Amino acid sequence: MNRDRIEQSRRAPGAWRRPVAVVLLAFGGAPALAQGPDVYALRQAAEERARAVEPQVVTWRRDIHEHPELSNREFRTAALVAGHLRSLGMEVRTEVAHTGVVATLRGGRPGPVVALRADMDALPVTEQVDLPFASRERALYNGREVGVMHACGHDNHVAILMGVADVLASVRADLPGSVKFIFQPAEEGAPEGERGGAELMLEEGAFENPRPEVIFGLHVGPGPVGRLSYRAGSTMASADWLRILVRGRQTHGAAPWSGIDPIVVASQIVLGLQTVASRQLPVTLTPSIITIGSIHGGVRGNIIPDEVEMVGTIRTFDADVRRDLHRRIRRTAEQIAASAGATAEVSITHGYPVTVNDPELTARMVPTLQRVAGDDPVVVQDLMTVAEDFSYFQQEVPGLFFFLGVTPEDQDPATAPSNHSPLFFADEQALPVGVRALTNLTLDYMTAR
């Protein structure tokens, strides 16, 4: 079925089954937008180029999908991106945060600097989708050989932003501002012992010379193909790593009173942690999740071990709640352990911050998303407990991170394989919508001054 769908689009790359490329020239609804003839001509030229580049965006996406690369190892992808951006006459920096690419397109007219971001890395997942361009790549991941797949859809992000770069470069002479294109490695997390991703890109000057005023980004995922969705304010959760080492005293399993059983204590801690979110924090303020995903302790059924290790994740949507949650987790684990004569060492490693869409910027740009979507309604996205290191960019400048549905029309988004599944499939009909959304966000921000 997937091969049939792909072959249909291969025969007619521009003949999308849905009217996804409409209404760039329908200007009603955009607030405070300068609607002079220059803006109209700029939009018209961008629309024409966007239509022309559609087949190439498909070609890029298929090539990148077939040749995925793990975090901090995106060498081929980075070379493809850098070569394309250089061919457009941009100033290009490579090897930013290992394999990142940062390019600047300077418009022919003065105006603001807008940053656009796409993440490039794939996942250690063996693809099970029947595609003519399915990945057969293998690689080492933390010392193990694994399959590699763009199971999160970053191949779509890269191809879309390469298309946007082509479109905006084609109107460079009339562009009222500059654009920074940020192709980021390691959004899925750097390998063990390494650093990477958005945080390291910022440390290595991704926002310097020139510094952007705002940043836009998108992510593909479940939803009707081409559907755009967004959320103002907190959108995606922070993600922190939790490790708890419970120490007791080893003894014979037939005489537990002669030692201190860390397995029982660890079990009590798991249950106790669930009351932190449900009984210690205001449930009307923001959702919070504490998950213990792994417990290890002992080697035999008749030996009570000395210690048990638990690891898990902490998710929430507010920076203050995040700090309070960490404090309560430590207190709960340590005091439950102490009540049994054991000890609990709690280690919390900060991961990605909360992804927060600037409310004012979001309100300003929603009409743009609505215009690009045409007759398909733009919807408000529910809170998402997954995390995104786009959040680091948003800590520096106002940002808007939105979502693009890629579920094929013959599948239910609620049951179709989602991101990170070996069966995840992104319908290419969504690609033109992504190109037009990022293009128009850029143009609208620059011209609505």
Catalytic residue, candidates 54, 74, 230, 352: 352
Phi–psi pair at 336, nearest 5 degrees:
-65, -45
Please say if 428 is a catalytic residue. Answer: yes
Q: Which amino acid is at 123?
A: L
Report DSSP state, residue 278: I
Angular region, 41: left φ>0, alpha ψ -120 to 50, beta rest: alpha
**CA atoms 86, 166, 433, 449: torsion sign:** positive
**386-396: burial string, b at 16+ Cβ within 10 Å, e else:** ebbbbbbbbee
Dist. CA 9–CA 3, nearest whole Å: 10
Phi–psi pair at 94, nearest 5 degrees:
-120, 175
Report DSSP state, residue 178: E
Q: Which amino acid is at 447?
A: T
Question: Is 447 exposed, middle or buried, given 0-12, 13-18 or 19+ CB atoms closer than 10 A?
Answer: buried
Using alpha carbons, select from 327, 320, 398, 386 the residue that is nearest to residue 359. Answer: 398
Cis before residue 210, ω within 30 degrees of 0?
yes
Dist. CA 342–CA 344, nearest whole Å: 7
Catalytic residue, candidates 74, 199, 428, 445: 428
State how far Cα 285 lies from the chain centre.
Answer: 25
Please say if 91 is a catalytic residue. Answer: no
User: What residues contact residue 323 under an 8 Å CB cut-off, 6+ apart?
Assistant: none
Catalytic positions: 352, 428
